Amino acid sequence: EADIYQTPRYLVIGTGKKITLECSQTMGHDKMYWYQQDPGMELHLIHYSYGVNSTEKGDLSSESTVSRIRTEHFPLTLESARPSHTSQYLCASMRGGSYEQYFGPGTRLTVT
C-alpha cells in the first residue's frame, strides 16, 4: 500500500470560492504530480515537481497553481472555483531512478 494521502476525499463548493487540495507522501519521493481525470476518460497531467521549489505546468491547461516547499507536501490551489473545474484530482509521486508512480486516492471536486 502506497503512503500517499489526499484530503479532502470529496468536496462540494460554490462558484468563486478559493480551495486547496492537499497531497502528502511519506516515501521521500522527489517527483510529484497532479492529474485531472473525468469519468471514463484518461488522466491528464496538470502540474509536476522534481523537488523542493521546482514546479512545472503539465500538458493540460489548468487555472490551478501548486507549490513545493517541503518534499512530502504538494498542495494544489484553485483561486476561484468554477463549474468547469468539477472533476477528480489525483496526486502521485515517484522515486528518483524509477518510472513507477504511486497514486493517492483522489479528491472528487464538485463546483456548483
Give me the residues that bind another protein (CB under 8 A), please: 2, 31, 33, 40-43, 45, 48, 50, 58-59, 90-92, 94, 99-106, 108
Nearest to 85 by CA among 11, 32, 9: 11
Minimum Å gap between C-beta 73 and another protein is 17
When the beta carbons of 64 and 101 are compared against another protein, the nearer one is 101
Query: Smallest distance, Å, CB 18 to another protein?
Result: 25
Does residue 5 contact residue 27 with C-beta atoms inside 8 Å?
no
What is the nearest approach in angstroms of another protein to the Cβ of residue 27? 13
Closest listed residue to residue 110, CA positions, set 14, 7, 6, 23: 14
DSSP secondary structure letters along 45-80: EEEEEEETTEEEE-SS--SEEE--SBTTB--EEESS
Give 81 or 94: the residue with its C-beta nearer to another protein.
Answer: 94
CB nearer another protein, residue 9 or residue 18: 9
